[in-house]
Structure formats: C-alpha cells, structure tokens
Amino acid sequence: MERPLEQGNMTGVQQFVLLGLSTSPEIRHVLFAIFLTLYLLTLLENTLIVLLVCRHSELHKPMYFFLGNLSCLEMCYVSVTTPSLLAGLRTGPCRVPFTACIIQLFLFISLICTKCSLLASMAYDRYVAICRPLHYPLLMRPQVCLGLAVTSWLGGLLVSVVKTTCIASLSYCGPNVLNHFFCDVSPLLSLSCTHVALTELVDFISAIVTFCGTLLVALASYAAIGRAVLRMTSLAARCKALSTCASHLVVVGIFYSAVLSMYSRPSLAESTDLNKLLSIIYTVATPVCSLIVYSLRNRQVHAALRRTLHLHRVSPARTALFCS
C-alpha cells in the first residue's frame, strides 16, 4: 500500500514530496520536452564558452575570466534544480529523502550566492574598463581577478553552510509536502513544527548582505558608467561603451528582479504557481540566456568560435593529404 503524502504530526519527516508543476499530464509531457531541451542547451553552450575561454589566448582577459567562472557555475546551477523539475514533469509528485533535500538546498544556496557575487564582480570590471581605463591593467590584474572569483565561491559556501545548518536543525513533524519543484528555503520553513524566528533572522541577514549588497555594487557601477557615457562627446565611443555593458545589465535585471520578487515576501508564505514561475525564470531561463546575451554579440568570441570550427573542418583534410 502506498505511503500517504502527509505523515503523522508526531513522527519525524524522513522524506519530502515535491509536487512540481501542477498541470495536466498532456501539458507535463510538453513541458518536459521543453525543459529537457533547455537543460541540454544550457550545458552545451556553457561548456562551449569555457572551452573557448581556455583555448584562445585573446580571451584571457578579466571579462572572459569571469564569464568562464559564470559558465561553470551555470552548469552546476541548472544541474541542481532542473533534474527534480524534469522528474516531477515525467512521473508526477516525487519523493526526496530528507538528506537529499538538504544537500540540494545547500548546493542551491551556495551557487545562487556565488552567482550574485560574480555578477557584481563583472559589473565592477566594466566600471573599471570604462571609467578608469588607464588604471585597468593594475586594478584588474590577474591576482585581483582570481581573488574576486575565489571570494565569490568561498563566500557562497560560507553563507550556504550557515543557512543550511539552521534549516536542517529544525524539526519537521509533518506534513511533508513541498509545493515546489525543488527544496527551497521558504517551503521548508513553512513545514517546520518548531520556532523559526532565529532561522528567519539568519535568512534575512544573509539575504540583505548577499542579494542587496551585490545588487548595490552592480547599481553603483552602472550609475558611474552612465555618468561617464553621458560625458563622452563621441557617439561611437558611447555606443562602444554601452555595447560592452548592455548584455550584462539585461541579465542582472532579469535575475535580480526574479530573486527579489521571490524572497522579499515573508518566508512562511505558502508557495504558489507564481513562486514556481519566478523560480523557473532564475533557475532555468537566466542560465540558458548566457550564451545569447554574453557571447553571441561579442566579436572576439565570434572570432574564436569561427577559428575553432575552421580548425575542426581543416584538420581531417590535412590528415588525409598527409597520409596520401
């Protein structure tokens, strides 16, 4: 006999049930095909970006160094949340062991915090390039870039350890149904049967520091860039400056709009279809746009991609000529 979705209130929860996207079976099959395609496309395009950045010396610059880090993060990011989304669309509500749910939560928090820091670092890089071009080689030397990247990754891990420890230490007596497609902070807090004030405070402080802090860095950088662009007398110089920032600004706007809309409400609010839609935007839609908004409009990436494809076409012909 199948185990009921909601466990008794006096027993500890050993597993959670992810409801996923609540749609009809016919629509679920269509969504499964769409999200699977987006997932594979995200892995492919970000792998391509990493390979291009590593293999071509002309891309060994701070902007592409951060782009490579962001691409690595995006591959991990979508691999944390998308499989459970696909499983829910394929089979309906799926059961996740408590430990697996906490691990998914830990990885998700770590990666989303790291992404915020990387986006802020990329905004600072564009600020230095446009507003202080003569000091760019000094301010964005390899040691500084490496330090910003390492700080972003370690900072995300630190925040995730604190938040995940607080959430995992709560008691979950039942029910065990999460109205979401992955283990997120708000749905888990809503199921806790113990006092969550301290955990909410930790969540609020970390959100202020991580989301709002990095957003302020990005906004301050682009405010300075805007003032610098307005002072430029050449139209060509203005267009060039704006072209280097427009793509990143679009991604920052989409990502932070979805995240802040999601987490600015009380943490105990019940997850709704709107919550899931916002989650899809910043967990699926934003990563799949990385190649489009960052790379396809970049001439140096275009040139590196063309050379790579040309070498792959020419090498077999040269091998055949040599063997003959």
Reported as a single tens digit per residue, the pLDDT across 120-159 is: 999 999 999 999 989 999 999 999 999 999 999 999 999 9
CA separation for the pair 106, 10 (Å, rounded): 26
> What is the average pLDDT across 183-198?
86
Write the pLDDT tens digit of every residue in 206-252: 888 888 899 999 999 999 998 988 888 888 878 877 777 877 888 88
**What pTM was computed for the model?**
0.85
Among candidate residues 276, 116, 252, 110, the one with its CA nearest the CA of residue 186: 276
CA separation for the pair 30, 159 (Å, rounded): 37
> Residue 175, preceding bond cis, omega within 30 degrees?
yes
Element (H, E) at 208: none
CA separation for the pair 101, 109 (Å, rounded): 12
Tell me what the pLDDT averaged over the chain comes to: 82
Q: How sure is the predictor about 9, in pLDDT bands with cuts at 50, 70 and 90?
A: very low
Residues 6 or more apart whose CB falls under 8 angstroms from that of 252 comprise: 119, 123, 215, 218
Give yes or no for a contact between 183 and 16, defined as CB atoms under 8 angstroms apart: yes
The string over 124-154, giving b where at least 16 C-beta atoms fall within 10 Å of a residue's C-beta and e elsewhere, is: bbbbbbbbeeeebeeebeeebbeebbeebbe
Alpha helices in the chain (DSSP H): 25-55, 62-91, 98-131, 136-139, 142-168, 185-191, 197-207, 213-231, 235-263, 273-280, 286-288, 290, 299-323
CB atoms within 10 A of CB 26: 8
Which of 17-26, 50-59, 139-148, 149-158 has the weakest average pLDDT?
17-26
Q: How sure is the predictor about 291, in pLDDT bands with cuts at 50, 70 and 90?
A: low
Measure the CA dihedral 32/37/38/42, to 10°. 140
Q: Would you state the structure tokens that stand for residue 317, as one six-digit string?
A: 């012909």
**3-state DSSP call for residue 56?**
coil
pLDDT higher than 70, residue 11: no
